[in-house]
Amino acid sequence: MDDPGAPYDADYFERGFGPVPYVRSEPVWLERFGALAEQLIARLAPRRVLDVGCAKGFLVEALRDRGVEAFGVDASTHALECVREDLRAHCWKQDAAELSATGYDLVTCVEVLEHMPAADAERALDALCAAAPYVLFSSSPDDEDEPTHVNVRPIGAWVEAFAARGRAPVWDADFSAFAPQVMLFGPEAPSDPALLRLYTQRVEGACALSAAEQALGSERTRCYEAERLLAEERASAVALRSALGEVERAQGWRLVLGLREQKERFVPEGTRQRRALTWITERAIRALRPSPTPPALRALRAAQERPRVLVVSGCGGDSLRYRGDHLLQLLAGLGGRGAIVPQAELGASQQPDAWADACELIVCQRTPIDPGLRALIAAARRRWVPVLFETDDLVCDPLGDAAQIPSLRGMVSAADVTAQHEALGLAVAALCSTEFLAERLRALGKPAYVLRNAASPAMLEAAARARAGVEPPARVVLGYASGSPTHDGDFASIAPALARVLTRFPTAPDGRPLELHLVGPVALPAALEGFAPRIVRRAFVPWSELPAVLASFSINLAPLETGYAFCQAKSEIKWLEAALVEVPTVASPTPAFRAAIGDDARGRLAADDDAWERALTGWIEDEGARRACAARALAHALEAYGFEQRGPELRAALEALRVDLAPGAP
């Protein structure tokens, strides 16, 4: 059997703890654990303490030096060999998943369970709670770059895990001086879910604040380095001025000045001859250094007689289709014309002035700042061309939670959010897809206008074909369609409710098969693995084929992790796409879904497992009610979500922007 402690050798403790090695010779570690020991003694006055994952025994050492009978266990042979010699009898080798200790007043488990496979971590949690009434626990919620971190979970998942074992967070215990994610759990009855979520948000806030402070410290360091470089540049400038003086005194430079004087004398600025000379010079330079004109720039230049809008796209897929392609189609309906250029192509063209000259409005669609975008915005400002930042997700708020959502890790980082926030800051205003998102953007100090997502004529045509091709259903299908792996957490949030429904209904009431269909990239939660024979997996399909897939659903599922502001800002697209093929939706109660569904007239809203189970059960048992709701949803989608409705919204947003930018506007 493999040794679970093998990876944690001398090299790991030397290099795996950031800039400070985890060794006794570094005083910071004994100081930190000493302060933690004093805080624990002051709070709980424990007599017997077990440190699970004690590593080199620093906390055991700190507690025993203060009169507490402390013990430690760890899986690393190397770490235990580094325990202070007189304490080695009190620390022994044991995997946390195999622990069977009892009779302690307090168990501590600091940054351990993220190193263990999920199943082993669950056994370890059972052991921690059996060993003592109080458990001091922490696990880094976002450090997935460390190779040994195989079980990183958000704060809320650990809080729920302890609650399921009869342990509730001790609200007034604050150990954030040691680490922001440290929590103390006690034997009190677990709080209700709302209070647990509130506690989770408090700890997550402390983690976010700590990360922001670290980022601020790094920024200060960069500023100091920039000041040093500036001083060097100033010294270089002095040397350059001296060298320039030598050049100006040279005979060749005097000849150049003489030629310039002759040009000003015989070809003055503003004359036809000067313009001709400039034209000839520019053509000569272009001939020597050709720079191809991107197709999007040619399209803008060809639209001289109509308003011209450039959409710089920093995000592809459905986001670009709904927020870029549809925007230009709506603009065409208003008599305008535009073009889309990918952000990478914009930078590669190195023609910011040419792009700005060809536009009357620039829309930056989910664009992180980069040199090419910065140059374009600067060129636009020189020409008084307004720049809008456009987004359909809350990915530009440094104090938001996009970078903290587990299913977004690797796709949205804090650096990505910061880069988009900087692009937002350089824009004059923002355009977005929901009112919730607009309010968050306004809170960041930016005027924000709402242009809700719409169904294009091509979407309406594809949906009509799908409705016409629907055959009498041979089965009842609960369906979930995912466009990317970022929705794993959303789907997992309803897995317990789905498991209960699938257990309750082996078949539909009329005997037809009851199945769960999953479309696109989505992980199957453990709670649903036992229903594999009734789960149908389908590959991701392009948007033009999606209506036919959705039309095969009996009930469309649209869950979101509503504890995150990122999810609250989401639009009602999943409801709209299903409504267009006359399929009803059960959705999480976000603001956009509430507005689309109304008072359960055009769908169902479900806030928790019980509500999801009730909503699904009701429609499984009453097909008539399900179909009636689907018909109302279709009617509302056709009435309120076409381009004929969004065109006036776009016109109103552009008019509001014009008024806000007018001279003398507040």
The string of DSSP codes covering 173-225 is ---TTT-TT-EEEESSPPPPHHHHHHHHHHHHHHHHHHHHHHHHHHHHHHHHH
Task: Please give the backbone phi and psi of residue 621, each rounded to the nearest 5 degrees, phi first.
Answer: -80, -20
Q: Which CATH homologous superfamily contains domain 10-208?
A: Vaccinia Virus protein VP39 (3.40.50.150)
Of the candidates 568, 625, 576, the one whose C-alpha atom is nearest the C-alpha of residue 596 is: 576
Tell whether the model's pLDDT for residue 335 goes beyond 90. Answer: no
- With a CB cutoff of 8 Å and minimum separation 6, the contacts of 596 are 572, 575, 576, 579, 602, 603, 636
Give the range among 183-197, 598-612, 620-634 with minimum mean pLDDT. Answer: 183-197
Mean pLDDT of 343-368: 88
- What is the reported pLDDT for 1? 47
Indicate the residue type of 221: T
Classified as helix, coil or strand, 539 is coil
Which residues belong to CATH 3.40.50.2300 in the chain? 306-450
Mean pLDDT of 385-390: 94
- What is the reported pLDDT for 599? 80
Task: Please give the backbone phi and psi of residue 549, each rounded to the nearest 5 degrees, phi first.
Answer: -70, -50
- What is the reported pLDDT for 666? 47
Answer with the residue of higher pLDDT: 114 or 305.
114
Please tell me which of 142-146, 253-257, 527-531 the model is most confident about, judged by mean pLDDT: 527-531
- The distance in angstroms from the start CA to the end CA of the chain is 72
Q: How far apart are CA 457 and CA 464, in angstroms?
A: 10
The tokens describing 236, both together, are 């270089």
* CATH architecture assignment, domain 306-450: 3-Layer(aba) Sandwich (3.40)
Confidence tier at 461 by pLDDT (50, 70, 90): very high
Give the range among 62-76, 123-137, 390-404, 442-456 with minimum mean pLDDT. Answer: 390-404
User: Helices 155-163 and 118-131, interaxial angle, to 10°?
Assistant: 50
Give the range among 162-176, 277-291, 423-437, 629-643 with minimum mean pLDDT. Answer: 277-291
Q: How far apart are CA 209 and CA 215, in angstroms?
A: 10
CB atoms within 10 A of CB 506: 9
Domain at 457-641: CATH code? 3.40.50.2000
Tell whether the model's pLDDT for residue 612 goes beyond 90. Answer: yes
Mean pLDDT of 532-547: 91
- What is the reported pLDDT for 484? 76
The tokens describing 325, both together, are 């392609």
pLDDT digits (tens, 9 = 90+) for 485-504: 778 889 999 999 999 999 99
- With a CB cutoff of 8 Å and minimum separation 6, the contacts of 408 are 402, 486, 566
Whose structure tokens read 């093929």? 581
Beta-bridged to residue 50, according to DSSP, are 71, 107
- What is the reported pLDDT for 325? 92
Of the candidates 593, 595, 494, 514, the one whose C-alpha atom is nearest the C-alpha of residue 554 is: 514
Which residues belong to CATH 3.40.50.2000 in the chain? 457-641
Mean pLDDT of 557-570: 91
Answer with the residue of higher pLDDT: 141 or 609.
609
Largest separation between any pair of C-alpha atoms in the chain: 101
Tell whether the model's pLDDT for residue 124 goes beyond 70. Answer: yes
Tell whether the model's pLDDT for residue 242 goes beyond 90. Answer: no
**pLDDT > 70 in the chain, percent:** 84
- What is the reported pLDDT for 664? 47
Check if the beta carbon of residue 120 is closer than 8 Å to that of residue 94. Answer: no
Mean pLDDT of 132-161: 88
What is the residue-averaged pLDDT of the chain? 86
Whose structure tokens read 């190195």? 350
Confidence tier at 252 by pLDDT (50, 70, 90): low
Cα 389–395–399 angle (5° rounding)?
A: 110
The number of residues making up the chain comes to 666
Which residues belong to CATH 3.40.50.150 in the chain? 10-208
Whose structure tokens read 């299908």? 477
Confidence tier at 92 by pLDDT (50, 70, 90): very high
CB atoms within 10 A of CB 392: 25
CA dihedral 447, 452, 456, 460 (to 10 degrees): 180
User: Helices 414-426 and 371-382, interaxial angle, to 10°?
Assistant: 10
Q: How far apart are CA 226 and CA 141, in angstroms?
A: 32
Check if the beta carbon of residue 60 is closer than 8 Å to that of residue 72. Answer: yes
Q: How far apart are CA 378 and CA 622, in angstroms?
A: 60
